[in-house]
Amino acid sequence: MMRTMANRQYGLSLSGLLMVAAILGFAAIFGMKLIPAYMQDAEIKNIFDAVARDPEMQKAQVRDIRLAYSKRAVVANVTAIKPDDVEIGKDGDSISLSASYSIKVPLAGNASLLLEFNPSNSR
């Protein structure tokens, strides 16, 4: 009876468990380094949307639109792009904001990732 029970047991060995833990740890560290860059990109998109939807900005000058972006970026702690990096387009009463920037994320040692973003308020 003991012999048949041992044949039916399945599971993960200690070495397998350590390997899975190492892979999950690496993925967690990798994610924690990348998430802030993607959160900042989402915040930039939200600022672009808010500035473009603001009724006061529809007839504003480019200088005023950059100032509105700058104020919102300071409040949201956005440091990836400066107001001068924002490209502003006007089409009648609507405005479009866009930018192109990259962020270098150090991973370990001399390995790093270069992330390129192109946020805009047009979908």
For residue 88, the enclosing domain spans 13-117
**pLDDT tens, residue by residue, 16-68:** 899 999 999 999 998 999 999 999 999 999 999 999 999 988 888 999 999 99
Supply the mean pLDDT for the chain: 89
**Is 6 a member of any domain?**
no
Residue 1 lies in a domain: no
pLDDT at 5: 59
Q: Quickly list DSSP for 19-74.
A: HHHHHHHHHHHHHHHHHHHHHHHHHHHHHHHHHHH-GGGTT--HHHHHHHHHHHHH
- Residue 97 resides in a domain: yes
Work out how many domains the chain is built from and give that number: 1
Q: Please list, in sequence order, all residues whose beta carbon lies within 8 angstroms of the beta carbon of residue 122, skipping any fewer than 6 positions away.
A: 96, 98
Average pLDDT over residues 74-99: 90
